[in-house]
Structure formats: C-alpha cells, structure tokens
Structure 1
Amino acid sequence: MSEYKFQTLKIDFPSPFVIHIELNRPQKSNTFDHILWKELEECFLRVKVDSMVKAVVISGAGKLFSGGIDLAVLSEVIGATGGDIARKILNVRQGLKSYQESISSVEACDKPVIAAINNACIGAGVSLITACDIRYCSQDAFFSVKEVDFGLAADVGTLQRLPKIVGNDSLVRELCFTGRRFTAEEAINFGLVNKVFKNKEETLMEAIKTATIIASKSPIATLGIKHLLNYSRDHSTEESLKYTAIWNGGMLNSEDIIKAIDAFMKKVKPSFAKL
C-alpha cells in the first residue's frame, strides 16, 4: 500500500489481485485539477508493472463520479499570457498532451479496468470512462460531453474513443454538438455501459465482483485479450489476425495453458503465477 499514496486518489484492495482506485476530490465534485491529472497517470503506470494487480476498478468518492475538468485549470489554460504567440501555443499544446497522456494511461495499462459510475459523469469524466475496458453505472447516472458549452471541442479522448464504443456516428455527433445530458437508460441502450444497477453501492460491488473473476484468470490471457482487442479496434481484420498469430506465437508458450487444461480435467479451479 505504501507505493499507492496520492493526494487526489484513494486506493484499496477489496479482493486478491484487485485494486480499487477512487477519484478522491468529493468536495470539488471529483473534478480534474493539475494534481489529479498527474496522479492518475502515475497510478496507472504503477499498476501496469505491479505483479500483485490483475484487475482494476475505478470509481468516484462521494455523491458523483466526476464533474469533469476543474474550471480553474481551464481558466489557466485559456488565460495563459506572456511570450509570443508561438510560445504560448506550444505551452498550451504541451499541457493538453499531458492531460491526454493521463487518460490514455488507463487504456495503455495492461490490466483490465472497470469503471463504476454513479450520478454525474461530465466532460473529462466521459473521456476517462471511454478509456476503460468495462463500464457499469447506477440508475441515477447521467452523462454529458460538456466541453461544447465552454466553447471548445473535447480534447482528451472522448471524440476519439466514444464513436468506436457506440458505433453510431449520428448519435455521437448529436451528443458532442449539443452537450445534452443522457441517462443511464440511454447509455445502456446505445452501448456506452453494459450493466445498470440500483445504486452506487451495488454498482461498485458488482464491479469488484467482475474484477475478482477476471483476476482469477491467467494474467497472460487477460493481458493478451486487452492488447489484441485494442489493436484490432485500430487495424483491419487482416492486419489484426496476422498480429494475433505473431503475439500468440509467443504467448502460447505459457505454463498457464497447461495449468488451465489440467484444472479443467480435474474439475478444480486453476491457480496462476503472477506476471
């Protein structure tokens, strides 16, 4: 636990090999300030190489999941002064890239990540959940690609990932152009989330339950599945099949396959080594 100490994230381990990461700025609606942007990336970089973690659950402390970017941060970005125009643009670009890398660290993490969403999930919060592998929410959850109402296009992942998740270009454009709220019922109907539960507690409990199941599987298998699904999303079927053959050409040498087959034959649960 000592290596997972953060100001804006609360960490616990609810079951073996499962880490629960909680956005922990409830007094500020779990909005993203400079520290949270930085710590989110730091945390997921650690999780990626932590052999004691096989699955991740991410949620928000308090009444809601996330209110998006801290408006003080947004004001700093658009209000930056000093230097000539080129240097100002360069500094803004570097800041935006650091925010993008923070969100992308979730997707780049080798461990499956489950988002447990309750109440508001706004702006950067939507970007965060689209970088996750699985999304559950409570009945009171609502979502908004809010950036348009602040005079900008979403720039940390929503416009890139949401269309690939939902698969409905017209709907994505409507949501992003209008910034309107959409409910948990609508989110499950068009595929942003795949399960809706009664309240926050039940949503988190079910997310941990699923993470625990995932953590019981071969970590070589789950890592490979995530990597290959992400690769296939961004490449043609032919390219992805060729890449999968190369990947599994190495990964099929895992002892986990022998253990899994042996356990299946003996009708017992297999036990796999850490990565």
Structure 2
Amino acid sequence: MPPIVPPYASQFKHLAMSFPSENVLHVELKRFWREYGTAFDRIADDPTVRVVVLSSALEKAFSAGVDLSDLHALPQHTDPGRRALLTRAHLLSFQNAIGAPARIPQPVIAAVHGVAFGLALDLLSVVDVRWAASDAAFSIKEVDVGLAADTGTLARVPKLVGNASLLGELALSARTFGAEEARSSLGFVSRVVQGSREEVVRAAIVEFAEVVARKSPVAVVGTKRFITHALDHSVEEALEYQATWAAFALQSKDLRESAAAAKRKQKISYDNLGESARNKAKL
C-alpha cells in the first residue's frame, strides 16, 4: 500500500512527506533550506497534522552541514556597505527558514542518525524533542571553516542545555561528540535509540508521535507554547501568558470529554483543531 501523503507535498522537490499513522506527519530532509521554512509554514495550516517527525532521507547522515558552494550565492555589490546590508537580509532569511519549526503549533520531534554537523545543530536546536540513534555523531563545525555558528545553535542551545562549559568546549574546538555525550553530559538529546536511521525513526513515530497524536490537540499546542514562551520570559510573565491561554482553553470541550471518559474508564478520540489552529497558537 503506497504511503499517504498530504496534498501539498508535491510542491516540495527536496523534502519528502508522508503520514505513517493518523495525524503524524513524517518530514524527510534532502537538500532543502530554501523549501524548509515554506514547508513548515504550510504544515502549520494543516489541521490533520498533530505531530511532526523530522528525519533525514540520507542513509548515512542527518546533515553534513551547509554546502560551502552556497557562499558563492551571497549577494554581490560593488559598495561594501550595500553588500553588507544585502548579505544581512540574506542571512536573516536563512535564519527565518531554519527557525520555522518553532513557529508552528504542532510539536516536532527530530530523529537523528549518522553525521549531524554544523547546520544540523541549527536545525535540531529549534525542534521540541530530540532523539538520536546510537550511531549519531555531532559537531558544532563552523569554527573549522572560519565561521561562528550564526543560524541558531549559539542562540538557542545555551538556553536548552545545562552544561555551558561543555557547550563552550564543543563550539570552540569543533570536536565530534556522540549520541550518549549529547544526552548524558550536554543534555541536548533526551533519548538514545540503539541502531541507525530505521530504528530511531521507528521509535520516534511509535513511542512518541503516535502517543502525542492521541492526546487533546488543544492541550498539546498549549504545552508546546508554554515551554517555548518560558524559555525567554520570567516566571511571572510565563504565568500571565498561561492564564491568558487557559482563559479560552478551559472552555474547550476536550476538557469536559476527557473528564467524562476518565470517569467511565474509556478511551477518547479528539477532534482536529481546525483551520484556526495557527492563530490560536500565536495568542
């Protein structure tokens, strides 16, 4: 039986999309960044998607980093000031595309395998959950090519991990570190799955995405936004934001139906959010 694909999947040449199970969208990366942001913006508007699993279509790697040949595509101008402004706009566009998973209401889990260098860390720093195959090898590689990581890693990862000294060591040396160090020492990934691409993707779908997809989408969207908001705000600001969100979320029928189902010890199937999901997520 052929995989079920969303109707908009054909718009993207360098990304593969399919539904491995109900309400779970699997996005597989190839060469992609120009389509990446647009794809996630489109996913945000799809009420049938409750969880996204992000992986690589490559057999041996998640991503080896940005193609240095892309540097030749930077804006050109004879005047240095104008060239700098054009380059800045180009870099901001790149950052915006890479940051797309943070903008969508649905949670995104990354299933990482093989080589995950440079740009891979930028991508991974944006998603909500990171699981790695035991063969995953990470590197904040930019200093080895004369750059500082400027597309998300050094903006987001310091807020996500509990070992700033180790992060500094890894970013300054560009040394390769494995899945277990990324989990136990850095705290960047939350689970290591024995195996490679097939094993980590299967685990991410079955053990996480399918579980989340069965829960109230109102509760799931709220949970993602609460965590994201709290990373950049004080406790007092976060509580005020959560009270505002809860003012409408408490009126959802999901709450009443969940309580009734729990009392009867029955399972419940929730409705999709509908076309207004993205607007609710931006409250």
* Separation in 2, partners of 1:192, 1:117: 12
Task: State the partner residue of 1:188.
Answer: 183
Task: State the partner residue of 1:4.
Answer: 9
Which letter maps to 1:206? A
Task: State the partner residue of 1:23.
Answer: 29
* Separation in 1, partners of 2:77, 2:187: 45
Task: State the partner residue of 1:265.
Answer: 263
Say if 2:87 is the partner of 1:89: no
Say if 2:19 is the partner of 1:13: yes
TM, length-normalised to structure 1: 0.93
Which letter maps to 1:46? R
Superimposed CA distance per residue, residues 78-109 of structure 1 (whole angstroms, 9 cap, x where no aligned partner): xx543311110011111111110011111111
Which letter maps to 1:193? V
Counterpart mapping for 1:119-158 below 5 A? 119-158=114-153
Say if 2:234 is the partner of 1:206: no
TM, length-normalised to structure 2: 0.90
Which letter maps to 2:223? I
Q: What's the secondary structure of 1:136's corresponding residue?
A: strand
| Structure 1 consecutive aligned stretches of length 4 or more whose deviation exceeds 4 Å | none
Task: State the partner residue of 2:280.
Answer: none
* Separation in 1, partners of 2:168, 2:135: 24
Of 38, 43, 48, the residue aligned with 2:39 is 43
Higher alpha-carbon deviation: 130-139 or 260-269 = 260-269
* Separation in 2, partners of 1:106, 1:227: 12
Which letter maps to 2:190? N
Structure 1 residues not aligned, in runs of 5+: 26-35
Superimposed CA distance per residue, residues 172-218 of structure 1 (whole angstroms, 9 cap, x where no aligned partner): 11111111111111011121111111222111011001111111111
Task: State the partner residue of 1:246.
Answer: 244
Structure 2 residues not aligned, in runs of 5+: 1-5, 274-283
Q: What's the secondary structure of 1:21's corresponding residue?
A: strand
Say if 2:55 is the partner of 1:59: yes
Of 97, 100, 108, the residue aligned with 2:95 is 100
C-alpha RMSD over aligned residues: 1.1
* Separation in 2, partners of 1:136, 1:19: 16
* Separation in 1, partners of 2:22, 2:7: 17
Displacement of 1:24: 2.2
Superimposed CA distance per residue, residues 126-179 of structure 1 (whole angstroms, 9 cap, x where no aligned partner): 110110111111111010111111111111100011111112221111111111
Does structure 2 conserve the Cα–Cα contact (< 8 Å) formed by 1:259 and 1:271? no
